[in-house]
Amino acid sequence: MHPDLERCLAIVLDATKDGGAECAVRRNPGKWSVVEVVEHLTRAFSGTAKGFERCLEKGAPLATSTTIKQKVQQFALLNLGAFPEGRQAPKHIIPTGELDLSAVISAVRRDLARLDESAAKAKQALGPGKMLDHPVLGALTVDQWLRFHVVHTQHHAKQIRQRR
C-alpha cells in the first residue's frame, strides 16, 4: 500500500483504538460522532477511488484548469498541512450514521485498498499529471490526492480525539 494511505490507516486506527459503543454517541447534536467522522473519511477514500476509476474508464484524466486561488489553497493544505475549519462536506461524503465502529473500520481498510489500487493504476496508465478535480482545491495529481487524504485524516483525527 502507498505510504500515504498506510499513514491514513494508522491515524484512524490510533485515534479509534479501544473505542466501543460510545463512539457512536453524539455528545453535541451539531457535531458528528466518532463513528460518523470515520464514516466520512471512508466515503472520501471511496469517492476518490471512484474518480480514479472513472479516469481509467475514460482513458484520460478528468482534471480541469486550476485557478490561482486553488493553487494557493493547494499549497497551504498539501505543503503546510493547513486544513480549513468550518467548511461543509460535499453531500456524497456526509455520513449516514447507520454503522458501528467495527463496520466503519472495516470500510476504511477496504476503501483504502481500493484507493491504493485505483491510484496506482491511474498513475501508471495516465501519467503523473493532474488527474482529477477536488471540489474546492481543483485539479490534483494522484500523489497530491494521496497527500490530501493524509492531511484530511489528520484533521479529523483531532476531532475524534476531542470527542473521545
Residue 157 reports pLDDT greater than 80: yes
Most confident of 10-19, 82-91, 108-117: 108-117
Q: Are 49 and 131 in contact (CB under 8 A)?
A: no
Give the rounded percent of residues in the chain with a pLDDT score beyond 90.
79
pLDDT band at 81 (very low <50, low <70, confident <90, very high): very high
Is the whole-model pTM more than 0.85? yes
Q: pLDDT at position 40, please?
A: 97
In angstroms, how far is CA 130 from the centroid of its own chain?
18
Of 163 and 157, the one with more pLDDT: 157
H or E, element range at 139: strand 138-141
Chain-wide mean pLDDT for the chain? Answer: 94
Residue 147 reports pLDDT greater than 90: yes
What is the rounded distance in angstroms from the CA atom of residue 121 to the CA atom of residue 23?
35
CATH number corresponding to 3-61+88-128+142-163: 1.20.120.450
Report which DSSP code applies to 142. Answer: H
Q: pLDDT at position 19, please?
A: 86
